[in-house]
Amino acid sequence: MRSMRFDVGYALQGAGRTLGPRTTVTITKPRKVTISGLTMAGIYQFQIRALGLRGYTDWMDTKIFVVA
């Protein structure tokens, strides 16, 4: 059985919705993941994609989260 793999990409959204540098974290096992080092009250854009038998999926639609 092939192991699951997901990429989580995120970036801090600045003034005018300008994005800072993008960070990508690869998850190789299904589990709960904590993303640390985020800026309090920062607005982040997140995307996820999966690696399957035919390669990577497209990145999912962007989701926006505010760090509280």
pLDDT tops 70 at residue 20: yes
Tokens found for residue 4? 């699951």
Tokens of 43: 């607005």
Q: Give whichever of 3-7, 27-31, 47-51 has the largest mean pLDDT.
A: 47-51
Tens digits of residue pLDDT in 38-61: 999 999 999 999 988 889 999 999
Mean pLDDT of the chain: 91
Q: Note the pTM of the prediction, 2 decimals.
A: 0.84
Over 80: is that where the pLDDT of 65 sits?
A: yes
What architecture (CATH level 2) is domain 5-66? Sandwich (2.60)
C-beta of residue 45 within 8 angstroms of C-beta of residue 67: no
Cβ contact 11:18 at 8 Å: no
